[in-house]
Amino acid sequence: MEATERHLRLLTETIAAVNSTLDLEEVLHLVATKVAHALEADACFVYLYDERSDELVLRATHGTPIDAMTRRPRMRPGEGITGSAAAERAPVMLPAKAHLDPRFKEFPNLREEQYESILAVPILAREKLAGALNVRTLRPREFRPEEIELLQAIADQVAQSIVHAQLYAQAQRRVAELEALAKISEAVSESLYLEESLEAIVKTTMDAVQATGAALVLEDGRIAWPEGRAGAYAVRTPLRWKRRQIGELVADKDAPFTDDERALLEAIAHHAAVALEHGRAVMRGVLAQEIHHRVKNNLQTVASLLRLQARAEDVDPREALEHSVNRILAIAAVHEALTEQREEDVELAELIDRLRAMLVQGLGSDREVAARLEQVSLAGNRATALALVFSELLQNALEHGEGAVQIELSRRDGDIVLAIADEGPGPDGSHVGTGLSIVRALVGDELHGTFELRSDGGTRAEVVFPA
C-alpha cells in the first residue's frame, strides 16, 4: 500500500509538472527529469516520433547533455531497444549488460554502453505512436513490475501533453511564418521598385530565423542586399519561378538550422521569387515599356512616382516636389525625342545634350557642366532606358555633387560607357534613394549592363552595357 501511494504521488507530481507549460522543449525536459527522479534512475532519454521520416528522434535527456551532441540520434521503430518498445507497443526491460543485447543500437556521441540496465516504454496518444522513453542505471537493476507500470502510466499520461505542446509549437511557428510572409507581401505591394522589395525580404529573413546574416543571390551571380555577417552554418534555398531557378536565398547562423527554420526559409524563398519577378515586371512594364510608348498620357505612372517620393523619409517637402517635377519633365522629354523614330536608331550624343540643357536650366544650376560625347547610336527602346538613367544621374550630380561636372559617352571593348563625375565626396552608401533604385533597375533589366558608383578624389557614376 505504501509503495502504491508513493507511485501514485510520483505520477501525480510528474503529470502536474508536465502540464504546467505548453513549450515543447520545456515539456520534454521536464519529462526526462521527473521520470529519472521518480524511478531513481541515472539517466532518461525521451524520443519523439517523426511521422514524415518514420523515425524516433532524441529530443531530451537527463544524465547526458544533449547540447554536447554533434547530431541528434535517430532510429526507426524496431531499431534498438527503445525502438523495439515503440514498435511492439510494450515495455522492454533488461536488468544488466544491456549493451550486449542484439537489439542494442550504438550512437558514438551518446555513450549508452556505460549503463547496465534499461527500461524502455512507448509513448502512445490514443493508440498512435507519439514517441518512446527509457530510463538507464549505471549498475545492474531489475525493475519491479510496479515500476514498469509506473513508467508506462507516466508515458501514457504525458502523451497528450506532448501532443498539445507539439500543436502549440506548430501554431507558434505558423504565426511566425505568417508574420514574416505578411511583412514581405506588404513591402512588395507598397514598393514600386525591386531594390526596396529585396531589402525587405533580406531583413525579414534575418528576423524570422534569428540569422547572423542573409542575402539574395540573383541568377546572374549578383548579390542583392547582403546584411549582417557570415555564420558557422549556412543554408542556400533556391528561388524558383515557373520551374526555373532565378536565384538563391542565403541565410547564416552560428548554430545549426532546425527543420522548422528550413521550412520557413523555403516559404520565404517562394514569396521572394514571386516578389523578384513582380518587381522585374513592374520595372519593365512601368518604367520602360509604358514610358517608351505613352508616358506623356500615362497619369498612373506619374501618380506612382509621386507616391513613391511621398513615402521617402527625411526629405524636405519642397525638395521632394522639385524632384518629382524634374523627373516628370525628363520622362516627357524622352518621350517627345523618341516618339517619331521609336523603332529607329537614336544618336545618343544629341539626345544626351538635349537632356543636359533641360536639366541644367530646370534646376537653375550655375555649375560648370562639360561633355565629351562620342557618336554612338542605339535602338529606340534601349535609348529610352539610357536617357532615363542619364537624367537621374545628372540630376543627382547637380543637386548633391560639388565642383565641375564631367559627362562622358564612349565605346570601350565593344561596350558603351556612360559616366558622370563631379568633385564631391558622394553618398556614404547607407541609403539608396528613389533615383538610384530606378537607375539600377533599368541598367540591369533593360540595358543588361552594370552600374558602379565610386568615390576617389571625387564621385564617378559609371554605366557599362553591351553595344
Q: Provide DSSP, 171-237.
A: HHHHHHHHHHHHHHHHHHHH-SSHHHHHHHHHHHHHHHHT-SEEEEEETTSPEEEEEE---SEEEEE
Each residue's pLDDT tens digit, 114-149: 899 999 999 888 888 989 999 999 999 999 888 898
Stronger pLDDT, 113 or 279, i.e. the higher one = 113
Indicate if 99 and 6 belong to the same structural domain: yes
Closest CA to 382 of 419, 351, 414, 406: 351
CA distance 28 to 162: 8
Q: Is the pLDDT of residue 193 over 70?
A: no
Q: Is a pLDDT exceeding 50 seen at residue 315?
A: yes
pLDDT of 290 strictly over 50: no
Both 259 and 155 in a single domain?
A: no
Who wins on pLDDT, 95 or 290?
Answer: 95
User: Is the domain of 249 the same as that of 314?
Assistant: no
Mean pLDDT to the nearest integer, 10-24: 66
Residues 7 and 118 both lie in one domain: yes
Contacts of 297 (CB under 8 A, 6+ apart): none
Confidence at 309, pLDDT banded by 50, 70, 90: low
Mapping DSSP to helix (H, G, I), strand (E, B) and coil, where does residue 120 land?
strand
Instruction: Indicate whether 152 and 217 sit together in one domain.
Output: no
**Domain ends where: 233, 253, 281?**
281
- What's the structural domain count of the chain? 3
- Domain end residue (candidates: 281, 315, 344): 281
131 plus 67 within the same structural domain: yes
Q: Note whether residue 254 is domain-resident.
A: yes
| Same domain for 345 and 460 | yes
Q: Is residue 249 part of a domain?
A: yes
pLDDT of residue 292: 46
Q: Which of 25-29, 147-151, 211-215, 265-269 has the lowest mean pLDDT?
A: 25-29
Which residue type occupies 107?
F
pLDDT higher than 60, residue 298 = no
Is pLDDT at 165 greater than 50 in this prediction?
yes
- Name the average pLDDT for the chain: 79
Dihedral angle sign, alpha carbons of residues 386, 389, 390, 391: positive
Q: Is residue 334 part of a domain?
A: yes
CA distances from residue 115 to 64, 80, 118, 222, 277 in whole angstroms, order as listed: 11, 15, 8, 55, 58
Residue 310: CA atoms inside 13 Å, Cβ hemisphere, count? 7
286 lies in some domain: no
Buried b (16+ CB within 10 A) or exposed e, 275-295: bbeebbebbbebbbeebbbeb
Residue 207 lies in a domain: yes
- Is there a domain that residue 289 lies in? no
Q: Write the pLDDT tens digit of every residue in 423-457.
A: 888 766 555 566 787 788 778 888 999 999 888 77
The pLDDT tens digits of the residues spanning 194-243 come to 677 778 788 888 888 889 999 888 887 778 778 888 888 999 999 888 77
Measure the CA–CA gap between 438 and 298, rounded to whole angstroms. 18
**Confidence at 69, pLDDT banded by 50, 70, 90:** very low
CATH value at residue 371:
3.30.565.10
User: Mean pLDDT lowest for which of 378-387, 395-404, 423-432?
Assistant: 423-432
132 and 229 share one domain: no
Range of the domain at 66: 2-170
| Domain assignment of residue 175, yes or no | no
Considering the domain architecture, whether residues 136 and 40 belong to the same structural domain is answered as yes
pLDDT at 293 over 50: no
* 126 is a domain residue: yes
Same domain for 21 and 97? Answer: yes
Identify whether residues 136 and 73 lie together within a single domain.
yes
Q: How far apart are CA 196 and CA 189, in angstroms?
A: 11
Same domain (yes/no): 28, 164? yes
- CATH assignment of the domain containing 56: 3.30.450.40
Among 21, 22, 14, 71, CA closest to 44 = 14
CA distance 112 to 131: 19
Compare 291 and 55 and report the one with higher pLDDT.
55
Q: What's the predicted TM-score (pTM) here?
A: 0.44
Give tens-digit pLDDT for 342-366.
445 778 888 888 888 888 887 777 8
pLDDT for residue 88? 92
- For the residues 96-105, what does the mean pLDDT come to? 90
Residue 4 or 198, more confident: 198
Predicted confidence (pLDDT) at residue 341 exceeds the cutoff of 70: no
Q: What is the pLDDT at residue 139?
A: 94
Check pLDDT > 60 for residue 110.
Answer: yes
